[in-house]
A and B are shown apart, each in its own frame.
Chain A
């Protein structure tokens, strides 16, 4: 064996370059071993994944197919020492399995299992030469840890990216500014208002006032479950800022509970025009704009 031939010239630990060369040689030998036993090790790994009840969201065939890809990528990363391909694969894998409900602990679990399976096979191969086993493990462990790290980090990053994307989508969905008539906007607010959302809401409304040249805005808060003094103050600020742009704001849909809370905590809403429900608010706005809505005349029945 080629590696055995190199053994006698094993470098002293004081020579870093020679040592790294020997690490490279050991890794080469290791990779050759992993390639040789590919089928058997993959099967062992897939078995252990199933036994540990990881990846329960996937079928056995799928697990085996993914295990094969991960295995090959793993070996390749060990061989070349570059992690880009593995990183790309981990991202791609995460993208596929996250929607199916695969958890972080499962991904970390399977990568660690692979590491154990491979280490066990190394023990089996080199159990007679303890010194060599040690050196092989010295070469294997840092690389294997880096691989595990890469995959886990890739998964978590992908997950965070998806979460951020969804948050953004929810944010945008949740603040529609709608024009119901020439110069009349409505802004239905649904859900929890935190400072960040309040700020975004106000900015969006102010921009909409300018682009639509709105004169009256109806803010409907029927969908806001609870309100504290912070939220109330945000609301007052929104009303004030809209007025600076020349628009009148009517707030509608204050529930009895919210009305009670606001009075109890003593928020000054005297500057704010409030109307019971959205319909009343729109009617009031139409009056302010000089609209008059009349029903079509009943067709007179012919005698």
Chain B
């Protein structure tokens, strides 16, 4: 099943609607990374609200997406992890280290906005100091 990727301003939103096979996940990774460049996106949100299982491959793919997107200039947030899924993940030791997470889509967008703001201020600071 293909995951729809929506463009929303500077951000890309991938909303996973049902359980995905490993191949689907890899396809999602390729598509997202390609579109980050194509749309010059500054942020990526992956919404996993509909997932009630998260295995090690899914977690690794999400981490890869975050790291690869960062190299392409976009910040990634994973949103909508269910409480039960979160609990199962930490018990299995799958903790998505180094990847930002947020409660839901709204929070994720707010987080990316804040990140953008901070980056802007850092750049401005550098300019004035220079």
Q: Give residues in A with beta carbon < 8 Å to B.
A: 199, 202-203, 206-207, 209-210, 213, 215, 237-238, 240-247
Contacts and interface: CB of A to CB of B under 8 A. Distances in A.
Interface centre among A207, A213, A246 (most CB of B within 10 A): A246
23 contacts: A203-B83, A203-B84, A203-B87, A206-B83, A206-B86, A206-B87, A207-B83, A209-B83, A213-B107, A215-B103, A237-B90, A237-B91, A240-B90, A241-B83, A243-B95, A243-B101, A244-B86, A244-B95, A245-B101, A246-B79, A246-B101, A246-B102, A247-B103
A241 B79 contact: no
Contact of B90 (A244, A246, A247): A244
A244 B79 CA distance: 8
Interface string B69-105: 0000000001101011111011100011000011100
B103 A246 contact: yes
Interface residues of B, number: 18
A210 B87 CA distance: 13
B107 A244 contact: no
Nearest to B85: A244
A272 B96 CA distance: 15
Contacts of B83: 203, 206-207, 209-210, 241, 245
B107 A240 contact: no
A241 B90 contact: yes
B59 to A, nearest CB: 10
A269 to B, nearest CB: 14
Nearest to A211: B83
Given A206-B83, A209-B103, A244 B91 contact: no
B111 to A, nearest CB: 8
Interface in B27-42: none
A242 B89 CA distance: 11
Nearest to B103: A246
Contacts of B79: 246
B45 to A, nearest CB: 12
Contacts of A202: 87
A116 to B, nearest CB: 57
Contacts of A238: 90
A90 B85 CA distance: 46
Nearest to B100: A246
Contacts of B87: 199, 202-203, 206, 241
Contacts of A203: 83-84, 87
A151 B103 CA distance: 55
Contact of B107 (A199, A206, A243, A246): A246
Given A209-B103, A210-B103, A245 B81 contact: yes
A52 to B, nearest CB: 54
A237 B95 CA distance: 9
Nearest to A208: B83
A241 B89 contact: yes
A202 to B, nearest CB: 6
Minimum-distance CB pairs A-B, first 7? A206-B83, A246-B102, A244-B86, A246-B103, A241-B86, A237-B90, A240-B90
Contacts of B90: 237-238, 240-241, 244
Contacts of A207: 83
Contacts of A242: 86
Nearest to A199: B87
A72 to B, nearest CB: 54
Contacts of A243: 95, 101
A243 B97 CA distance: 10
Contact of A245 (B86, B91, B95, B111): B86
